[in-house]
Structure 1
Amino acid sequence: MRTRRLYTVFPFASRLATATGAALVSSPGETAAIPSWDLQSTASVGTDLGTLSRTGLDTASWHHVSSSKCTLMGCLIQAGVYNETELFYSDNLLKVDDKQFSVPWIYRHEFSLQPAAGQHFFLQTHGISSRADIFLNGQQVASSSEQAGAYAGQTYEITKLVGSENALAIQVHPTDYYRDFAVGFVDWNPWPADNGTGVWRDVEVKQTGPVMLEPLRVVTQLGTPLGISPANVTLKARAHNLENSSITVTVTGLVAPVSGGGAVIWTKALTLPPLSVTDIVLDTVVHKPAIWWPRQWGEQPLYNAKITVTTADGGLSDAACSEFGFRSVTRTLNSFNDTAYYVNGHPFQVIGGGYSSDIFLRWDTARWETQLRYVLDLGFNTVRLEGKNEHPELYSTADRLGVMIMPGWECCDKWEAWSYNDNLAVPSPIWSAADYAIANQSMLHEAAMLQPHPSVLTYLIGSDFWPDERATALYLAALRSLDWPTPVVCSAANHTCSAQTGPSGMRMDGPYDWVPPSYWQSTPPASAALAAPFAGFNTELSPGCGTPPLASLSKFLSPADLDALWRDPSARLFHMSRAGSSFETRGIFDAALAARWGAPAGLADYLLKAQLMDYEAVRAQVEGFTARWAPEEAHAPPGGGRGRSATGMVYWMCNAAWPGLHWQLWDWYMRPAGAYFGAKVGGRLESVVWDAVGKAVWLVNRSLHGRGHRQIAVDVLRADGRVVYRRVIPVQAMPNRSRKVLALDWALWGVRDVVFLRLVLTDGKGTVLSRNVYWVADTLNELDWDNTNWYVTPVTRYADYTALNRLAPARVWAVAVRDREDGVAVILENKSRVPAFFVSLNLVDRRGQDVLPLTWDDNYVTLWPRERMTLRAKAVAGTKWEPAAVEVEGKNVGKQTVPLSYGPSFAQKSN
């Protein structure tokens, strides 16, 4: 007996069944994920799914995992076959036998139900990587031609197959990134041995009565002024009458604030024809709706939405629910043909980073929340997902925290196997009819999952290349059918696009490897045929930074690896990128390090200089974009003419898929270092930044409400501590725009070697809004623009900072105070007559291990002579907090470990 595939979309709305022996689901409207799996290779148990899917099978020799979802490698790690720490050490990942994954594997689970007359049961998948045969109780539910695609969710009716005891067997087939619609990594990191094969998303069982609902869509229309005028809300869901006769039902709609109170409830009677599909549409009005904002602009109030269907006897048949927020997102192409987004009617400069899934596609909601809190701590407002659409928890967390998300399809594999994609090593770059069907199912499923979430900014239906006309039409139709509420963009690059979407208005011109800070403030010559790096909307670019500190490196690099890291710039480092990529070595970075800061004298010297390189390069990139934020309706910056605004930037990347050596703002162990704090200084909502190329100071304001009187204090200091220049200037801040406010070329006239420049911005009350210290050389880097390639612009002459290797030692006094409410406060005072350069703080426990995750309000700071600063560290919400001491060290400051003392409020709490 074959089952009926009812439709191709269903949201994740499940709970995990945990009671042993209890029914997995037991009432209409209930959905539960398969909570655990027995796992084995078909090389051991064969491929007779009819037998493997019958109850009572002896699986004692199988692998057992207590997770609802995991790829083969993820499952085997959970089962104890592999150890993550060992896998990630040196090149141990290469020692995993990938031949074991060249045959299908079986996922198996037994569960109980309570079937009775009038009940219906469904098996819901949300994408299995990349193909699967599904059997239940000895009968086939779906073949691998039906269940295909890592994002292609399906719903199968299994009512006629279920009993009180049930056995489910899923046979997953080996994944080929170039032939299957999978979740890949390109050259970000080595590929996992299983290519991500397996049940990487939940498989669920759902129970309903005679009527079943598809996902809930929420359509809102805001009135103006926002939050005062009423908003229209429409709830939509397709209802399936599963019976052979007409049925009259009562449909109830609910909209209510998640915080409680103010619920709007209304009903509607409907008669559904036999075996019909009816689109239920329920309209209402919410008076004075609370508006959802990105965190940088406001609060994140959320609302519950729900549709329930009850039969004539009052019994519940099914329910569909979701959370949503009142917000609007629109997109325009400005006069430079650049994409510009508007959120709730306000120009929104995207400042964000790219996200990577775990290398084995494992999901950890708490880890994701920590990463989003890091994003917000940096001053970023957006995360781009290139094909890593993950799970509903990703978007729910982003909704709650106020981070915008840019999902979309990935590059460089089957997803972009087009005849015009000349960058792809695909044997036959042409989609078949079946491929288009899989892509369509995938779009339908992902759109249904994402549609209600206010954090979703847009959807990119292409990454490096745009989809062909047929795929574009399918994608757009799927999105329209699910009332997609935000802009759809053809690709993340500036290639040709379909007329169905129009131009992308986005760029993907690199770089991906190290470039000097001045790169981000430069305008290439006309001969280079490139736009300024800071202009327009750039969807992935960076100087390839993210060097972990020694405490992290020692966890995954062998002594020989560590030796090669600083001694041999040409060494192929396994933890850089996939073998054969352009990023196997740190050669470009290391050449610049030696030329600018001097050849490393050892590992510690190399790592300190690497943090300096990371800090200054990432800060410059972020500031290059935030300083050029000038929405078209704003006045032109002084200096002549309306310039090309920087409308968006996605840093490549926020995080890495495993312990890596670059492309990360925090490392695998959640340790923020130089790249992180460079980004944080550059990402403040209000700040003043230095343009080394233009010899100018820019006032940055990315807030909606920050306006009025400000002061900028400018100080220039020689390396020996002598003051070169000091000035305080008043300025007026204007919300949501940046402008050039001061020229400093004459202030730095005659500088020899290197000086320090400090810029401090305060508001009308004297509160410090930003503090920024730069090291300014008497020469700039010179860039070879005409030889720019897709990942780097060569440097023909480097700025020289080697004079800072000769800084006189500085003595920094430090005290660290533990406060239960406020975390740890560290007071630093430079007791010397020279600057204390690039002083870092690291919180450790009693064993000397890093205390993570955490946020600092600043780090890697440079103190003026006799200057005192207080820096605070806080535990990320929900994490254990057991610090014992703070490690303090700098470029010219010897390392000291400062034990924590306890402040009064901590003592009071303790008592």
Structure 2
Amino acid sequence: MKRSFVIFVLLIAGNVYFAQSQSWNTKDVELSNGWQMQSSAEVPTDGHQVASMNYNPENWHRANVPGSVLGSLVNDGMYKNIFYHRNLERVPDTPFEVPWWYRTAFNIDELHDGQVYRLRFNGISYRADIWLNGKKIASADTIAGSFRQFILNVTPYIKKGKNVLALKISQAKPGDLNIGFVDWNPEPPDKNMGIWRTVHLLESGPVSVTYPFVRTAVDTATLQHARITLGMILQNHSPKTVNGNLTISIGNTIHLSKKVSLPPNEKTQVILTPEEYAALNVDHPKLWWTHELGKPNLYELSINYDIDGKLSATKNMKFGIRQVSSYLDAAGWRGFRLNGKKILIKGGGWTDPMLLNPTPAEIKAGVDYAVHMNLNTLRMEGFWGENQEIYNLCDEKGIL
């Protein structure tokens, strides 16, 4: 009896802790402005000073994030017309053999009890030591790999007002799995070192939602029924057990909810299946087709997790209901089907510019060009885009 009473008191204390806190921010802010960079050969100091409020980055270069070091130097006027004649050969390798500093600042208006702050680095080439407000928060022995995504909980280091973020980045070494332009294209002198994909400040309550996925299956005999499976990672960043409510909306017609209890400081994968939720069995679905076979219909998915009626985390994305399968024909060649219908794959190779600096307009024009050529597939050549934009456009325009 006494033990039950203690547990009851602890649960009440936890509820009061969250109930008394103010509303939590649930934001995903891309940190793309105000970046500066400089060679470490020109910066005779360490990260504690570079990432401090009082440090003055004199004579630093403007940095484009996302992008490469060389791309930023070209934009800043250090190297001109590098794609004319043999000018690219005249850009030396030696300036990029030492680490380069990246530095920016961002502002936090208010700090709330239970608020969680994380930094997400979607792509760093190739290794980085990271500091925030003069504190080292990650080392190059763990922050390594161009195609890896890193999410760092920085709540203890965040301050109200101005916050300073600094990275010391080193280029890839021989044998590292780096961005590649294959042997028939010239390698950039900096080996694409830099922050080549986006950086985000993620704000949430004690629980966050990451890595949502959707898996769909279509009744290919009739095309009148589909099954949807949803998944995501819920993470409790607090030292207390959290009892909350997960709500799912798909368009205006499908609404689900599930009570989810999360242990302290733990991640939990949550999967919702059509066997468990009848609403995930969809009649008369609007299917996703490639542009030459039909309309690339998309559904809007919204994921929310709340604690005592207060929103802790939210995630939104679009997806198409489709089923892709393959088969072997009589001659042993592999063919493909989309929603049960045979489809001829007509594809092209996609690669971003050598300086990793495509504009949104250029990406859109490239995808539109593929549609006008009646292609239905794009293959990523050497790497996979600096952000999600190309994938979103392919979804919208009916490209596999």
Aligned equivalents of 2:215, 2:90: Cα separation in 1: 51
Aligned equivalents of 2:44, 2:199: Cα separation in 1: 23
Aligned equivalents of 2:151, 2:210: Cα separation in 1: 10
Classify 1:225/1:47 alpha carbon distance in 2 versus 1 (closer, same or farther; 3 Å). farther
Structure with greater Cα Rg: 1
Give CA-to-partner distance per residue, 1:767-792, whole Å, 9 cap, x none. Answer: xxxxxxxxxxxxxxxxxxxxxxxxxx
Find the counterpart in structure 2 of residue 277 from structure 1: 267
By how many angstroms is 1:270 displaced?
2.0
Give CA-to-partner distance per residue, 1:292-337, whole Å, 9 cap, x none. Answer: 101111111111112100001x211111221100111112344544
Among 182, 196, 200, which residue is 2:178 paired with? 182
Give CA-to-partner distance per residue, 1:372-403, whole Å, 9 cap, x none. Answer: 22212222221111332112101000111111
Find the counterpart in structure 1 of residue 187 from structure 2: 191
Aligned equivalents of 1:226, 1:46: Cα separation in 2: 69
Match status 1:34 vs 2:35: no
Give CA-to-partner distance per residue, 1:707-749, whole Å, 9 cap, x none. Answer: xxxxxxxxxxxxxxxxxxxxxxxxxxxxxxxxxxxxxxxxxxx
> Secondary structure of 1:268's partner?
strand
Give CA-to-partner distance per residue, 1:174-226, whole Å, 9 cap, x none. Answer: 223x3222111122322111111110001111111111112111122223455
Does structure 1 retain, via aligned residues, the 8 Å contact 2:300–2:318? yes
With normalisation by structure 1, the TM-score equals: 0.39
Match status 1:137 vs 2:133: yes
Alignment of 1:39-438 (within 5 A): 39-46=37-44, 48-65=46-63, 67-83=64-80, 86-113=81-108, 114-164=110-160, 165-176=162-173, 178-229=174-225, 231-256=226-251, 262-282=252-272, 283=277, 284-312=280-308, 314-390=309-385, 391-404=387-400
Find the counterpart in structure 2 of residue 526 from structure 1: none
Give CA-to-partner distance per residue, 1:41-86, whole Å, 9 cap, x none. Answer: 0010135111111113212311123x43110011112223233xx1
By how many angstroms is 1:173 displaced?
0.2
Does structure 1 retain, via aligned residues, the 8 Å contact 2:246–2:306? yes
> Secondary structure of 1:309's partner?
strand
> Secondary structure of 1:51's partner?
helix
Aligned equivalents of 1:228, 1:393: Cα separation in 2: 31
Aligned equivalents of 1:336, 1:104: Cα separation in 2: 55
> Secondary structure of 1:341's partner?
strand
Classify 1:226/1:299 alpha carbon distance in 2 versus 1 (closer, same or farther; 3 Å). farther
Find the counterpart in structure 2 of residue 420 from structure 1: none
By how many angstroms is 1:250 displaced?
1.0
Q: Which amino acid aligns with 1:38?
A: Q
- Structure 2 gap ranges (5+): 1-22
By how many angstroms is 1:276 displaced?
2.4
Classify 1:41/1:344 alpha carbon distance in 2 versus 1 (closer, same or farther; 3 Å). same
By how many angstroms is 1:251 displaced?
0.8
Larger strand share, 1 or 2: 2
Does structure 2 retain, via aligned residues, the 8 Å contact 1:70–1:361? yes
> Secondary structure of 2:139's partner?
strand
> Secondary structure of 1:215's partner?
strand
**Cα RMSD, aligned residues only:** 1.8
Give CA-to-partner distance per residue, 1:491-536, whole Å, 9 cap, x none. Answer: xxxxxxxxxxxxxxxxxxxxxxxxxxxxxxxxxxxxxxxxxxxxxx
Give CA-to-partner distance per residue, 1:335-368, whole Å, 9 cap, x none. Answer: 5443322111122221211122201111322212
Find the counterpart in structure 2 of residue 434 from structure 1: none
Q: Show structure 1 runs of 4+ deviating over 4 A.
A: 224-227
Does structure 2 retain, via aligned residues, the 8 Å contact 1:235–1:253? no
Q: Which amino acid aligns with 1:267?
A: S
Query: Larger RCO: Structure 1 or Structure 2 (Cα < 8 Å, ≥ 6 residues apart)?
Result: 2
Alignment of 1:569-648 (within 5 A): none
> Secondary structure of 2:155's partner?
coil
Aligned equivalents of 1:41, 1:308: Cα separation in 2: 43
Aligned equivalents of 2:101, 2:24: Cα separation in 1: 29
Does structure 2 retain, via aligned residues, the 8 Å contact 1:296–1:381? yes
Aligned equivalents of 1:47, 1:128: Cα separation in 2: 22
> Secondary structure of 2:143's partner?
strand
Aligned equivalents of 2:310, 2:347: Cα separation in 1: 48
Classify 1:235/1:380 alpha carbon distance in 2 versus 1 (closer, same or farther; 3 Å). same
Identity of aligned residues (%): 30
Does structure 1 retain, via aligned residues, the 8 Å contact 2:26–2:203? yes
Give CA-to-partner distance per residue, 1:673-703, whole Å, 9 cap, x none. Answer: xxxxxxxxxxxxxxxxxxxxxxxxxxxxxxx
Does structure 1 retain, via aligned residues, the 8 Å contact 2:118–2:202? yes
By how many angstroms is 1:142 displaced?
1.3
Q: Which amino acid aligns with 2:263?
A: P
Does structure 2 retain, via aligned residues, the 8 Å contact 1:39–1:63? yes
Does structure 2 retain, via aligned residues, the 8 Å contact 1:70–1:362? yes
